[in-house]
A and B are shown apart, each in its own frame.
Chain A
Amino acid sequence: MSPEIIQAIVLTTATAATPLLIAALGELVVERSGVLNLGVEGMMIIGAVTGFGAAQLFGSPWMGVFAAIVCGALFSLLFAFLTLSLATNQVATGLSLTLLGLGVAGMAGEQFVGLPGIKLQPIAVPGLSELPVIGPLLFAQDPIFYMSILLAIGVWWFIFRTRAGLTLRAVGDNHGSAHALGINVLRMRYLAVMFGGACAGLAGAHLSLVYTPQWVENMTAGRGWIALALVVFASWLPWRVVVGAYLFGAVTIAQFHAQAQGVAIPSQFLSALPYLATIVVLVLISSNRRMTMRNTPASLGKPFVPER
């Protein structure tokens, strides 16, 4: 393969990986607080439709980004209220959040079908974007790409380098003890869930404003589920989420190039490759039990009902 092709692959990989990365980082924070929100797909599609709608309404893609973040967070609030305040089953509530999101988005988006979207244009950093090879890759991307990188660094810093992050981990590992120490478990979890919702909303906005600037029903096409898998794949470590998202994106893009070059591998196998890679890595990681357990939030998925 020529250097141009390789650069093209890397460039398109970043676009494919960004929504997965953002949604997975959000979910990572949620799960670190001990809450399992399976509604990522639903929150993502809400972000996609509100992002597209607000961009159309105000004529500015930035309004779309803003609306998607806010609506994603508001939508996740529903999940937070049910699972945290009413202590409903997190798995069932998360699944219904996905179904509800897909339905609501389809209904709200009916009027947007067939309208060309407004694309959030890439921003080239003056000077730096002219660097060979890494210039176009790192410094001439769309704004949400920059946000995803900052978000990855920010989430890592927050979880491992701040007192609030330590509290978050404490809540996720043992909510009983955290409560006994006087930490407001439910408030922490409310905030974490809303952060996850905001991230999923932003990821959705990337789909409808950058990746494919349009609105069509079901346009997330399962990316919320992949984001969920990435969190486990990364064993709840932010830097591994980055690796996982880019690996997944790269395999997806590379297999299309392989097909276009006429590589004689069955296309069904190539299409399944990103998923197979995920399974292989999951098996490898989980075979080392100590490694997995060390980072798994011990209270994950367990409801917390404070005694009065």
Chain B
Amino acid sequence: MKHIAKLTLAAFGALAATGAAQAADAKACWIYVGPIGDYGWSYQHHQGLLAVEEAYGDRVETAYLESVSEGADAERAIERFARSGCDIVFTTSFGFMDATNKIAARFPDVKFEHATGYKRETPNVATFNSKFYQGRYILGQIAASVSEEGVAGYIGSFPIPEVVRGINSFMLGAQSVDPDFEVKIVWVNTWFDPGRESDAAKALVDQGVDILVQHTDSTAPMQVGEERGIMAFGQASDMFAFGPNTQLTSIVDDWASYYIERVGAVLDGTWEQVDVWGGLADGHVVMAPYWNMPYEVAAMANETEKRIMVGDFEPFTGPINRQDGTEWLAEGETATEGELLGMNFYIEGIDDQLPE
């Protein structure tokens, strides 16, 4: 028994030694809200981590913590990373915002990057986000073109600005093709629960929608679409394998280029606080191939994608009215980033009440 204990100790010692011998130039750490096996949000962030490893090899050491819940746990996890020698910590969920800023204030030498948030209380906190809503405008155009019933079912996670903005953008796209297009919205109050998402999708299909849109992370709604013969859009990753006859396209998050750039900045010593909101043009949002639709529809979608990419078009351009019919944006006026980030109302044409 004693021998085993000694051997184990020796093994640990050796491990620690090799760890020290391979000391990298920088250590980059990630905190994920979900499991890396969700094949959605956290999965895509982890693909970014893998891309960083690929790009810098031994120069960068990486670490990650998955399934960190938003709350007291997050603070502990971030602090643990800050103490353990991480040079840069990416916190990848909206709910990590306050925890990130709090820990950042206590560790001025560590860089923090918070995804989808807006608070940068100390100079060592940067924020980054993606303009997923640009992709959702394209989804709306496609939905209104291929739907026979003229009604889409929309599965929302939580009624936060990010999701509300997506619904509005989707409807603007749909209205540009069919002004009378309708949407039925169901909130599941979770980002990830395949069972609930699947139940919500079935309920929507039973209620007569013939297109499914999701702003939740699992592939369950796509599978319901495939099973019931309904068209659907994927979210976060390309879900084609789960709906080969169903997926029209998918909004794919691609964080790799951003992560490589920012970790590179840490290596060069050029890291600075930023607030990046990249979209289709920056390659942060990528549309999966347009599939299962007539050629003209795919061509239209492609055209819109190109126009948004070159900066020729922005979904939130007036005239746009609020749900009650009052004017929000006048002809030709575009929404400011502040308005977009805090969006908490529906646009005209959505027959539903936004939960408070």
State the A residues within 8 Å of B (CB). 4-5, 8-9, 12, 16, 106, 109-110, 113-116, 119, 207, 211-219, 221, 223, 252-253, 256-257, 259-262, 264, 266-268, 271
Nearest CB in chain A to that of B241: its residue: A116
Determine which residue in B35, B39, B192, B195 has the highest number of CB atoms from chain A within 10 A of its CB, and name it: B195
Q: Which A residues are in CB contact (< 8 Å) with B38?
A: 216-218
Which residues on B sit within 8 Å (CB–CB) of A212?
Answer: 194-195, 197-198, 218, 220, 223
Contact (Cβ within 8 A) B35 A217: yes
B185 close to chain A: CB less than 8 A: yes
Whether the Cβ atoms of B351 and A271 lie closer than 8 Å is no
Stretch at the interface among B131-139, B203-211, B260-268, B295-303: B203-211
Known: A9-B206, A214-B220. A271 touches B187 (CB 8 A): yes
Task: Point out the residues of chain B lying under 8 angstroms from A221, CB to CB.
Answer: 190, 192-196
| Contact in complex: B37, A216 (CB < 8 Å) | yes
User: Could you tell me the distance in whole angstroms from the C-beta of A178 to the nearest C-beta in chain B?
Assistant: 38
Shortest C-beta distance, B53 to chain A (Å), equals 17
B206–A271 touching, CB < 8 Å: no
Q: A212-B218, A214-B219 are in contact. Are A256 and B200 (CB under 8 A)?
A: yes
Residue pairs across A and B with Cβ atoms less than 8 A apart, 8 shown, are: A5-B207, A16-B195, A16-B199, A213-B223, A216-B35, A253-B199, A261-B184, A266-B356
Q: Is the CB of A114 within 8 A of B39?
A: yes
B188 CB-CB contact with A under 8 Å: yes
Q: Which residues of A contact B355 (CB under 8 A)?
A: 266-268
Option from B35, B199, B207, B223 in Cβ contact (under 8 Å) with A218: B35
In the complex, how many angstroms separate the beta carbon of B291 from the nearest chain A beta carbon?
16
Report if B225 contacts A (CB, 8 A): no
Q: Is the CB of B352 within 8 A of A262?
A: yes
Q: Is the CB of B195 within 8 A of A116?
A: no
Q: Are A218 and B67 in contact (CB under 8 A)?
A: yes
Which residues of B lie under 8 Å from residue A257 when comparing CB positions? Answer: 203, 206-207
Cβ contacts under 8 Å, A5 to chain B: 206-207
Q: How far is the CA of A206 from the CA of B259 in the complex (A)?
A: 39
Q: How many residues of B contact A (CB 8 A)?
A: 45
Instruction: Please indicate the chain B residues that have their CB under 8 angstroms from the CB of A219 in the complex.
Output: 194-195, 218
The 10 closest A-B CB pairs, nearest first, are A217-B35, A256-B203, A8-B206, A267-B187, A217-B37, A212-B194, A271-B189, A221-B193, A212-B220, A113-B37
Q: Note all chain A residues with C-beta closer than 8 A to B189.
A: 267-268, 271
Instruction: List residues of chain B with CB within 8 A of the CB of A216.
Output: 35, 37-39, 192, 194, 218-219
B153 an interface residue at 8 Å Cβ cutoff?
A: yes
Where chain B touches its partner, the secondary structure class is mixed
Q: A207-B195, A221-B195, A261-B184 are in contact. List 7 more A-B contacts (CB 8 A).
A: A212-B198, A217-B38, A221-B196, A253-B202, A256-B203, A261-B207, A262-B184
- Kindly state whether residue B336 has any CB partner on chain A within 8 Å: no
B residues 7-32 in Cβ contact with A at 8 Å? none
Q: In the complex, which residue of chain A has the Cβ closest to the Cβ of B205? A: A8
- Cα distance, A262 to B242, chains bound together (Å): 29
* Nearest-neighbor residue (CB-CB) of B354 within chain A: A267
A264: chain B residues within 8 A (beta carbon) = 353
Tell me the chain B residues, 72-92 only, with Cβ under 8 Å from chain A.
Answer: none
Given contacts A115-B241, A221-B194, contact A252 B199 (CB under 8 A): yes
Q: Contact: A211 with B195, CB < 8 Å? A: yes
- Closest chain B residue to A249, Cβ basis: B199
Q: Provide the bound-state CA to CA distance between A258 and B73, in Å.
A: 35
Closest to B240 in A: A116
B186 pairs with A256, CB closer than 8 A: yes
Contact status A211-B203, CB under 8 Å: no
Does residue B316 face the partner (Cβ distance < 8 Å to A)? no
- A262 x B35 contact (CB < 8 A): no
Chain A residues whose C-beta falls within 8 Å of the C-beta of B195 in the assembled complex? 16, 207, 211-212, 219, 221, 223
List residues of B (141-194) whose CB comes within 8 Å of A's CBs: 153, 159, 184-190, 192-194
Cα-based distance from A212 to B222 in the complex (angstroms): 10
Q: Which of B185, B187, B190, B194 has the most CB of A within 10 A?
A: B194
The answer to the question of B112 belonging to the interface, with a C-beta cut-off of 8 Å to chain A, is no
Known interface pairs A5-B207, A12-B199, A106-B37; A267-B241 also in contact (CB < 8 Å): no
Q: Are B186 and A114 in contact (CB under 8 A)?
A: no
Assembly CA distance A224 to B35 (angstroms): 18
B contact residues around A253 at 8 Å (CB): 199, 202-203
Nearest-Cβ distance from residue B187 to partner chain A, whole angstroms: 4
Q: Which residues on B sit within 8 Å (CB–CB) of A252?
A: 196, 199
Q: Which of B234-259 contact A (CB under 8 A)?
A: 237, 241-242
